[in-house]
Structure formats: structure tokens, C-alpha cells
Structure 1
């Protein structure tokens, strides 16, 4: 029987035979360890309800902006891929055919690697089918996956177990009831951990079109009857406490930049009032968001939630696409950011605070060696977040390890973060990361910079120890 490239046991491992042999042994040490996913976007409701997946397009194409953005760049409209709310102009199979016709665009990309792996390892497609996928085989592959989705065993909870998932964190609005999380926690038949994550961005970014309405609701529901800026802060503290009570271990912040500011009470209150009147300028927006990042750090020191920061994305870059299809549809574009000066007010007060964990992610990989590794190499609170979004790809992971390790070692990094809405890609993403770490460590062993015994200890810590330690699991 032929073997697809997605099934090759040496995929992504070093080419040099001696180094590859070491990498194989390291990979064997961790390949079957449980998956720990402390940051992602799979909805808890999917697991709580355990409903059948709708169709191949709805599962693998439409919700995955890694996929739709590249097809769109090739000239296919997002309306042809069933993206966004409301009625769609094409049926699921037609959208799938667009995806299959665009498949050559994914050669060499991380998305192409993950999807091939899903075809092979999740859906069990034959090798020749995986390697010949394209316009001519679109319908046959669609039908094969649709048949798999119809199987009673192919449900979210069973896949959670089959994938070897132990922990899966979701991303949740501060006012979410967390009912799905509570149902899963009480269900003795479900043995995994699905943890909510506090994500307050629309309540902090005054430029968000719904900021004022959301803040009014937040204060009304959780402000203990206190109004104004004081009630706003109290409401955020109360909702964070509610998340902790329901299993949350982290608060995530998708801010524009890593700016932090320590404003006086009257200064912050004046900015808040100005924003509530709809009079905040762009400078006011940045100042208030920077101050609230300082406040979020203060709250994390008090309530113990790990603080993760994901800056540097120009959200909704194409206005017409945002208007028609909404957010998270493929046109968020990275830009350069600076951490050393921006984070100093926060780190001055909280950088050495006991049990405070601050995980810094970036889309600007030039800062890995210049800023993030040096910060993590001094401040006990700081950890370097794994390559994220556009950087969670094989070569980017190797660049990350090279850039960070020489300054801050292995223990000051977060462990792999899959950061995905594409549930079926989770095992492929984690396996990719483990293979790249095995290759990186194997090179250090082959160059006599690290003993093989120590490399075995390190890779277990990278895969299992680091995410547990950093995210307080």
C-alpha cells in the first residue's frame, strides 16, 4: 500500500541521517503524550451539545480564516466559500469545489500541511486520495468526509478523546453565562477539562463599535449598583472572579499594541467619561487601553489569572470585507510593535510580583531575540508565548527556538499554543510542534551542545511541563 507524505514517519524531521535518528528518539518520547491546549477558539457549546458536524465545508473551510484568506487571494470571493452570517450564495459542495480547485495555493504552507494530516489521520482517507486532492477529486473527497461525519462515533466528544486532548481552553466574553462549561464540568461521562478564558477586548477598546453598549450592560449586570468608572472596574473584577469559579486559568488580551500606562484615578475616570460621551480621540483610545492593560495586570496579581497578551494585528484591514462578512474573516494583518518601553509601567509594579504570570505573544518575529527573550530572561513573571497565528508554522517555529533559546533557554516559554477554531486540526498542529522541537533539540545534541539524556528531559518539559507550569494547570 502506498504511503502519503502526510503519513511519512519522518515528516518535518532533519534531513541529515544522524540528526534524524536522534530526532526520532526524541519524538518517540513525546508523540503520544496528552494534548494540552491552553489557548484556542473552539466553542464549549460544541462539546457540551455533542452534535454531528454539519458538512465538510462548514467544518474545514468556512470557519478557518487561514484557509479562506488564501483562496480569496487567488480570486475567489468569500461569499463563494460560505463565510459570514446570513444566507449564502452557494451550497456547501460548490464552496468545497472552490477549495479543491485552489488546493495548489496551499503547497508549502502550514495550512496545507495540517489539512493533509487531517485527511490522513482524522478522516482516514487513502494515501492516493490525500496526495491527489484537487479539482478532479473534489466530489469524491467531499463524499468520503461527509460519510465519516455521519458516523455515530464521529462526534466532538469522541474526537476529543481520540485526539488525546486533556485540556482545552476556550475564549469567552466576560458576560458569557459559561453554561456549557458548567455542563461539561458536571458531566461524569466527560473526563476532559474545558476551561473558559476571560477575553475583555470589546469592553476595553473604546474604538469598538459596541463599546459603550457593552460597558453599560457590564456595569448594570456586575457593577454591584456602582456607576461610572468605579462600577466599570468593579464589574470587571466580579466577572473575572466568576470565571475563576468556573475553572478559568487565564485572561487573554488581543490589544492593538503592548502599550501600558499607569494613570491616576482622576485621569482614568476622565478618559472613561469622555469615551462614554463618544468624544474619545485615537490618542485617548490608546491611552485608555494602555491604562486598562495595567489594571488587568493588577487584577491578575490579585485573582491569579494568567495574563496573556496578543498584540500587533491590524484588525479588519479591509473595510468592505468587514462590513459584509464581519470580523475574523482573514484580513487581519500584522504590524511592528515594541514591548520594552510599552510594558515598562506594568513591569515596574508587577514584573516581580509573586505568582504573576505574563505570557507575551507576537506577530512581529523580529522582537523574539531583541525584546521578548531578554524580558523573559530577567522578569520572573514574563514568559515568551509560542509562535502564534502567521508564525505557528514549521520554519517559523525553528526560527523562534533559535532566536529565544540562546538568551532565555527553554523554561521561559509557554509551550505550544494551537490558537485555532478548526477543531480537527488540533492534533496536526501539536504533532507538528513536537516534530520541530525534536529536530531542534537533535541538532543541539548532534553538535555536542546538549547531552541526549538532557534533550529527552527538555522535550518532555516543552510538551507537557511548560504549559502546565505557565498556565497554572
Structure 2
């Protein structure tokens, strides 16, 4: 069968022949390095159960909001894609819808990753998707069913195929982390599966169910203390529990970057109002900002890396959230500000090189204007990799150009796949490696750095940076 363009050895490398030759040599230094994935959303229990994947749609389509949102934008109801447990179609019918609309993905990062998955994970020529016919969809679906039934395609078998060394998950503070303990105690499971402390559900006073969850947290982990004192004690205790189970970082999906601290008395007042359902939105935002500051205090004390993901209007479509739940692709970015918001936090803790503070954004304009200057000054501050909508090839090149002139390469978090789509992990990390080779080759061609230095840098970016920043 004809080789697909997704298998071309020079994919994403420079068009100029001389620069491309350099990029090839740089890529050779890192293409086969193990994958370090310090932030993502894979469920650790999947590896404990080690059950065969249910069907191609359940694996590749329904849980991947990068993919489903594009189909939704074309007017396809998410229930037809079997999102959130809503099953208006069979898995085969949903897969037909995906193939029928494959043309929508041309030029998108999602389309590129899917092609890479088909070519390099499943061994299926992705050019076959172009026909868009039900017969083509059924033929591919049937091949995938056969592949997923094989013992070497179970969840525990794939890390070796992916060359996956570290996989961090995102976990609720009250999770018992039993799956992580089982994996850590199992000598036959080779990757490090690390939990990540994600306390958003207990800090966003404005979210449905916050009061019930917060009361449960204080009762379960507050050490017998109540109120805001018990709330802080519960957070500290659960962070320590996570550390004992291998966690190296805490992740915070913030509304914005405000880190203005409150007195404990003021925080107690807002906590009481929040539990009673009488807090104003301004008070709720102030409580969240205060907790951003308090979590940085905790990170300085217990050593967990602090990563923040601000600037997203979560679940923008109220109707979709009511029907399908959260995290279905309806999170929309808004303009974010870092310099003023992070000032209280970084003034207090940013001079401490042992406190690691990683700044992510979806607002591309803030990379060069604020994030790079902050990371270029504070020893604690690091530039988070492009995230989500800007985890796109041209935008990744733009990110590198926007930050490197101010920070150099040493203040980079390493690539973050942030994925719920397990089989996209190798494709996305390979994309990052090719983008870095592309950028560094241009610097060599322009005589801005030597090729030997570029080779050292690309190995550091891909391997040493995530280990260093996430304390691995």
C-alpha cells in the first residue's frame, strides 16, 4: 500500500534543504528519547484494570474534546458522538460520522495528531480517511476492532510501545490513590504513574456542589479543626498524602492569575458566606485568589511544583454542560493578565529557586509581554508549554520565537500533552520534538548558535527540562 504523508521522515521539518539537513541531525538526538508526560488526564485505574479498549469510538472519539468540538462546530450533536454517556448512535455509526467529516480537520493540530496515531500507533494508512464513505469507515473500524482485541494493545502493554517513562494524572484531593499505589507496588509495570493534586473543585466557590464537597474535605482531612483553619489543614494533609503516593506537582485551573492574599478572618467570612450560598461573585473571586497565594505558601513548604492554567471560561455552553457534563470542549479562552495578578505571589516566593511555579496560558499575546519577562527574572518562575488551542504547530513555533529571546531555553517546562486521549501521547510528543528541531535548525543556519550547542539544547528541552522543572 502507498506510504502516507503522515509517515514522511521530514514531516514538520524546514522546507529549505540546508536548514532541513540540520533539523534532521538535531531530531536524531531526541526522536527516540523516552516520553516524560508531567501533566495530563489519563485515569490511572485504566492500567490496574487492564481491560481491552471497548471500541474504536470509545477510545479515539468520544473522550477527545479536541476532536469532538470540531465536529460539534459543524452542527453535529455531541450525543451522536457518544459524549458524556449519551448514546444516540452505535459506536460504528459515530465512527462513520467522524470519517464522513474528516475533511474538517485539514490543517488542524487535531487532524495531524490523528493521522500520526493511525500511521504510527495502529499501522493504518490515514489517507484512507479521505474517502469519507461509510464503507471506508466500516473497513477502518473493523481493522481497529481487531487491533484493540490483541493482548499487546491493552493499556499496560502500550507504554513500552510508546516509550513512556513518566505519566502524571490529575486527581481530586480526596481520591484514595489506590490505583497509583497498586501501580507503584507492581514491579511488572514500568512507567512512573504519578498523581497530581488538583484542588479546583474545592476552591471555586461559584461552582455547583462546592459547599458539599468542601464540607466533606474539612470533615475528612481537617484534623478535627473546622472553618478556614480546618480547610487549610485539610489541604495540607491531602497534599502530604499525595506526596507519599509519588506526587511531585499540584495543578490549578484558575479563573485568572490574581494572587492577592486575605487575612484569615476575611477568608473565614467568605467561606461562611460561600457555605451559606450568600457570597457575592467578587467575594468568591477573592477567595480563589487568596487560595492561589496560600497554595504557593504550601508549595514552598512541601516542595510540590505549582502549575497554573488561568484564563479559560470553563463550560462556556451552559446547555452543553447540563446535557453532557464538563470538559467536553466548550472551555473558551479569554484575555489573561499575569504581571499584576502574580505580583503578590512572586514577590513573596519568586526569589526561592526551590519553589517551582509554572505559568500556562491560552492567550498567545501574554507569552512575550508578561510570561517570558517574569520567567526571565524570577528564579522560581518557568514558562509553561503551549497549551490546548495553541498546542498547534505554527503556534508552537510562534511560542518559541516569542519567549526564547527573553528567557533563553532554560526556563521552559518541557512539553505538556495535557491529554485525555491516551493514544495521542506519542504523536504529540513527537510533534514537539520536530518543532524544536525546526526552530533550532533555523538558529544554526542564521549563525546564532552552533550546531553542537543546538544538539545540547534540544536534548535538554525534551528530556532534562521536564525532569528538572517537575522535580522528577
> Which aligned segments of 4 or more residues in structure 1 are displaced greater than 6 angstroms?
none
For the 8 Å contact 2:383–2:412, the answer to whether it is kept is yes
Q: Distance in 2 between matches of 1:395 and 1:127?
A: 22
Q: How far apart are residue 319 of structure 1 and its match?
A: 0.8
For the 8 Å contact 1:2–1:127, the answer to whether it is kept is no
Q: How far apart are residue 272 of structure 1 and its match?
A: 1.2
TM-score, length of structure 2 as denominator length: 0.99
Q: Distance in 2 between matches of 1:44 and 1:28?
A: 31
Q: Deviations over 1:290-313 (max 9, x none)?
A: 000000000000000000000111
1:59–1:100 distance in 2 versus 1, CA, 3 Å: same
The runs of 5 or more residues in structure 2 that have no matched partner are none
Other-structure match for 1:244: 243
Query: Partner of 1:153: helix, strand, or coil?
Result: helix
Other-structure match for 2:46: 46
For the 8 Å contact 1:166–1:192, the answer to whether it is kept is yes
Q: Distance in 1 between matches of 2:338 and 2:75?
A: 37
Q: Distance in 2 between matches of 1:74 and 1:156?
A: 32
The runs of 5 or more residues in structure 1 that have no matched partner are none
Q: Distance in 2 between matches of 1:316 and 1:402?
A: 31
Q: Distance in 2 between matches of 1:134 and 1:124?
A: 20
Q: How far apart are residue 268 of structure 1 and its match?
A: 1.2
Other-structure match for 2:124: 125
Aligned residues: 472
Q: How far apart are residue 136 of structure 1 and its match?
A: 4.5
1:102-251 map, 5 Å:
102-126=101-125, 129=128, 132=131, 135-251=134-250
Q: How far apart are residue 126 of structure 1 and its match?
A: 3.7
Q: Deviations over 1:54-99 (max 9, x none)?
A: 00000000000001110011111001000013x5121100111111
For the 8 Å contact 2:228–2:264, the answer to whether it is kept is no
Query: Partner of 1:198: helix, strand, or coil?
Result: coil
Other-structure match for 1:321: 320
Query: Partner of 1:427: helix, strand, or coil?
Result: helix
Query: Partner of 2:156: helix, strand, or coil?
Result: helix
1:282-361 map, 5 Å:
282-361=281-360
TM-score, length of structure 1 as denominator length: 0.98
For the 8 Å contact 2:119–2:125, the answer to whether it is kept is yes
Q: How far apart are residue 134 of structure 1 and its match?
A: 5.4
Q: Distance in 2 between matches of 1:127 and 1:322?
A: 32
1:17–1:147 distance in 2 versus 1, CA, 3 Å: same
For the 8 Å contact 1:175–1:218, the answer to whether it is kept is yes
Q: Distance in 2 between matches of 1:309 and 1:97?
A: 38
Q: How far apart are residue 129 of structure 1 and its match?
A: 3.0
Other-structure match for 2:23: 23
For the 8 Å contact 1:256–1:314, the answer to whether it is kept is yes
Q: Distance in 2 between matches of 1:402 and 1:258?
A: 24
